[in-house]
Structure 1
Amino acid sequence: MKTLKIIPFLVFTILFIFGCETKSEQITNKEDYTKYLNIKGNKSLTFARNEIDFWQKKFDAAPNQISYLSQLASNYSTIFEYTGDVKNLYKTEELLTKSNEAYDYSRVSTVRSLARNYISQHRFKEALALANKALAIGEGRKETIKLLFDVQMELGNYPEAVKNLNAIRDMNDFDYLIRLAKWNDHKGDLKTAITFMEKARDIAEKYDNKALKVWSYSNLGDFYGHAGRIQDSYDSFLKTLVIDPNYSYALKGIAWIVFSKERNTTEATRIIDAIAATHNTPDFYLLKSQIAQFEGNKSEEIKNRNAYFSMMENNNYGAMYNKYNALIYADDKQTAQKALEIAKIEVDHRPTADSYDLLAWSYLNLGENKKALEIAQKYVVGQSFEPKVQYHLAMIYKSNEEADKVGSIKKELLSSVYELGPNLEKKVNQL
């Protein structure tokens, strides 16, 4: 995971159920983005592969030159970012581990790079151990503190995260501003989060930094969407693609607008299929399965869900898709026990409110209503403002006959239908 990527890469974690296809306001225009669906070639990928060839030959000729390993690792990481092929993530880890061992874990930049790789793999506790090792070395302290903030947020160690955030306070620093935005989003203050993300974007534009502009535009696209500013979200994703036509994250955002706002399943599927041709990850099959479920096409729903699990079996994704799997399994009484087992692992990996929500949701679907309520009240209430988590909370209250607590949550959820997805709207209305 790159230094700046503090917002989760996987955005399509919402489960849908069949609902009415109401026509909605048109935001998108095919002419705006179709040219990005079948881009011939990828300059960033070609460059990374050429670099790998170059540095591998140099390393083969002089295997004592350990610095070449970091060059190789960086380019394998780029390939992972653009293709989603997890083998490149593990190749990056292998090279960085070899490099760190050769330096006896004394080179702070290489230690931090391995920690970020572990974050991408959802190996957060190991990432924290490396971040602390980097801090002990002392060199490049500010960059290490940024890393510590990122890891502590993933682990739910919020007092430590804030301490690290305050230690790097600088309202003119891009990296500080995006982390300040993340912190405010975590607190449920989306308006303030957007303000700080826009300030970060302004800095990226001021210095005309391509990488920072791509990052800030695409993440503003997410934030605007969460705030219900769909036109701004769409425009921001398009601005991302102008700079990097191969940036699939922005196309995913547009696909979500087409599906969730415009309810155009055919066009959403066309976009998803185009992305998956070059950036193939299991979540695309899951999203297509959910779209088919919305359409009432049971055979397509099952086919795509099976393809998702098949891809999971054929690749070692570790804990990267645990949240997806738990939500899928929890929905079926026959597999709810599996969901519980995964949720327990997630709580151990990252004891955040979201992980405890998975645990509570799994217990609820196993019929253990009181247990679900106990966990939710202790670890979730007031600690996560994610709409999906709030929906689970409302269902837990309802199942425990605490209907008086459902009304206010339902009101909030109805204002978050776009983020939840069109089919969950029906479920929310039934609360």
Structure 2
Amino acid sequence: MKLIKLFIVLILVSSCVTKNQDAVAQKNDYDKYLVSNEVETSSKYFDLWNSKIRPDSMQLTSFGIVGGEYNRYFQQTGNIEFLKKAEKSLKKAVDIANIGRPGYYRALARNYISQHRFREALKLADSAAVIGGDKSETQSLYFDVHMELGNYQLAEKYLDSIKNMSDFGYMIRLAKWNDYKGDLDTTINFMEMARTKAELGKNRELMLWSYTNLGDYYGHAGRIQDSYNQYLKALEIDADNAYAKKGIAWIVFSNDKNPVEAIRILDSVTKTYNAPDYFLLKAEIADYMDDDLIRTKNLDQYFTRVKNEMYGDMYNAYNLGLYIDETKQFDKALLLAQTEVDNRPTPESYSWLGYSYLKNGEINKAVEVIDAHVYGKTFEPALLFQAAEVYKANGEEEKVNELKGELIGALYELGPNMEKQVHDL
């Protein structure tokens, strides 16, 4: 049996290496999108409605519209200040609304989801449900919140309550549900259906959503060329779309093994887009290149940004990785992991908790957490690697070999830096 398992692992290694030898990305496809255009964070439309807001204003429509515009600016720039300004506008709208208040509750809840304030988002969903209004929208929100909180049985109940195979929102949530269950083929099928609906309706925002999400899912499935094509389609619609450029940069780095080009792409993005994780990705690529200058520079950029209290818990998972792998502050990692479990008791949070226990030398606690909350409950490669390390420390070779086989098949997702660590399990 062990020989058979070893043979399967060798086949997976061989197929993975062969597939990654062929470069997918071509400069002449995406170079035209790497021009850094300063993002417009105002407009006559925005100025008109913003001008109606006074300290004692009761202009409900103004607050709702301005909040939506601030959220759009956040999506375009990654600047946390816009997300917080959107929150402020929406909270004012909730306070003064007599008609349509459930809609403002839902909008504010989605703002809180973006800020990783999931329990507060759930309270707002409850408030919207008590008042009434569009029941389907509130149930969709409940699904989203409960998925983030790890309440998967409740999430499934709300998903069933909004069943409508002609609705874009239902299809993308059904795709997300199947992704959680590990059924990637079904996930892609529903996401492709959603893409078709968005294209037929010529809805720019939904098309962008479809293309970038399919880019991710195709990548998970090892369909790198298809993934690349989806990111290009997104850029055809929005030449400044940072997420699509990040997706292409990952293909260039992880599949094409061209880290210098990957950093060039990301450098063009971070001139105008300021989300901290983009700098962390550049540091990861620089680490692969053994370029300590670029690595340190981008780590500094990351740390400078996440010190901003406005980010709250948004970057806890990233910080956990840095405490463990970079600064070796294992005690600090354990405290933060416990906070994450309190805020968001998902397999991811528990995986970080178990991994933190391992790094603090508490291997019995580590394996208890992984057994109870992670193993068999997630298909995310990064979490499976953490589980494998915990099982290795506890001498559970059978589980380590099982997970190692899965991880070798997921080296594209894990990235080149992880290849040796996986093989060393």
So what's the TM-score if we normalise by structure 1?
0.91
- Structure 1 position 23, deviation (Å): 7.5
Larger RCO of the pair (alpha carbons < 8 Å, separation 6+): 1
Question: 1:161 maps to which residue?
Answer: 155
Aligned partner (choices 23, 28, 32) of residue 31 of structure 1? 28
- Structure 1 position 39, deviation (Å): 5.0
For residues 326-365 of structure 1, what are the structure 2 equivalents within 5 Å? 326-332=320-326, 334-365=328-359
Question: 1:146 maps to which residue?
Answer: 140
The separation in 1 between residues aligned to 2:115 and 2:409, in whole angstroms, is 33
Aligned partner (choices 174, 178, 195) of residue 180 of structure 1? 174
Distance 1:110 1:218, change over 3 A: same
Question: 1:78 maps to which residue?
Answer: 72
Q: Does residue 55 of structure 1 match 2:49?
A: yes
Question: 2:4 maps to which residue?
Answer: none
Contact 2:38 2:272 (C-alpha < 8 Å) held by counterparts = no
Unaligned runs of 5+ in 1: 1-19
The separation in 2 between residues aligned to 1:333 and 1:248, in whole angstroms, is 29
- Structure 1 position 98, deviation (Å): 1.1
| Structure 2 SS opposite 1:59 | coil
- Structure 1 position 57, deviation (Å): 1.8
Contact 1:359 1:372 (C-alpha < 8 Å) held by counterparts = yes
- After the TM superposition, which segments of 4 or more aligned residues of structure 1 sit over 6 Å from their partners? none
Q: Does residue 189 of structure 1 match 2:186?
A: no
| Structure 2 SS opposite 1:139 | coil
Q: Does residue 367 of structure 1 match 2:367?
A: no
The separation in 1 between residues aligned to 2:131 and 2:155, in whole angstroms, is 20
Task: Return the letter of the residue paired with 1:357.
Answer: S
The separation in 1 between residues aligned to 2:230 and 2:332, in whole angstroms, is 39
Q: Does residue 303 of structure 1 match 2:297?
A: yes
The separation in 1 between residues aligned to 2:333 and 2:91, in whole angstroms, is 33
- Structure 1 position 317, deviation (Å): 0.8
Task: Return the letter of the residue paired with 2:134.
Answer: G
Question: 1:17 maps to which residue?
Answer: none
- Structure 1 position 328, deviation (Å): 1.1
Task: Return the letter of the residue paired with 1:100.
Answer: V
The CA deviation string for residues 289-344 of structure 1, in whole angstroms up to 9 with x for no partner, is 11111111233323321221122124531000000001111225741111111111
The separation in 2 between residues aligned to 1:107 and 1:85, in whole angstroms, is 27
For residues 263-274 of structure 1, what are the structure 2 equivalents within 5 Å? 263-274=257-268
The separation in 2 between residues aligned to 1:86 and 1:105, in whole angstroms, is 29
Aligned partner (choices 44, 61, 66) of residue 67 of structure 1? 61
- Structure 1 position 62, deviation (Å): 9.1
Aligned partner (choices 111, 124, 127) of residue 121 of structure 2? 127
The separation in 2 between residues aligned to 1:120 and 1:310, in whole angstroms, is 20
The separation in 2 between residues aligned to 1:144 and 1:127, in whole angstroms, is 11
Task: Return the letter of the residue paired with 2:142.
Answer: L
Name which of structure 1's ranges 131-140 and 229-238 shifts more when overlaid on structure 2.
131-140
The separation in 1 between residues aligned to 2:394 and 2:337, in whole angstroms, is 21
| Structure 1 SS opposite 2:274 | coil
The CA deviation string for residues 213-243 of structure 1, in whole angstroms up to 9 with x for no partner, is 1100110000000000000000011011111
Task: Return the letter of the residue paired with 2:21.
Answer: S
Question: 1:204 maps to which residue?
Answer: 198
Task: Return the letter of the residue paired with 2:408.
Answer: L
- Structure 1 position 104, deviation (Å): 6.7
Contact 1:286 1:308 (C-alpha < 8 Å) held by counterparts = yes
Question: 1:283 maps to which residue?
Answer: 277
Greater helix share, structure number = 2
Task: Return the letter of the residue paired with 1:383.
Answer: K
The separation in 2 between residues aligned to 1:347 and 1:122, in whole angstroms, is 13
Distance 1:57 1:386, change over 3 A: same
The separation in 2 between residues aligned to 1:85 and 1:50, in whole angstroms, is 21
The separation in 2 between residues aligned to 1:320 and 1:113, in whole angstroms, is 18
Task: Return the letter of the residue paired with 1:25.
Answer: D
- Structure 1 position 109, deviation (Å): 0.8
Q: Does residue 383 of structure 1 match 2:377?
A: yes
Q: Does residue 239 of structure 1 match 2:233?
A: yes
Unaligned runs of 5+ in 2: 1-16
Identity level (%): 47
Q: How many correspondences in the alignment?
A: 408
Contact 2:83 2:111 (C-alpha < 8 Å) held by counterparts = yes
The separation in 2 between residues aligned to 1:23 and 1:374, in whole angstroms, is 37
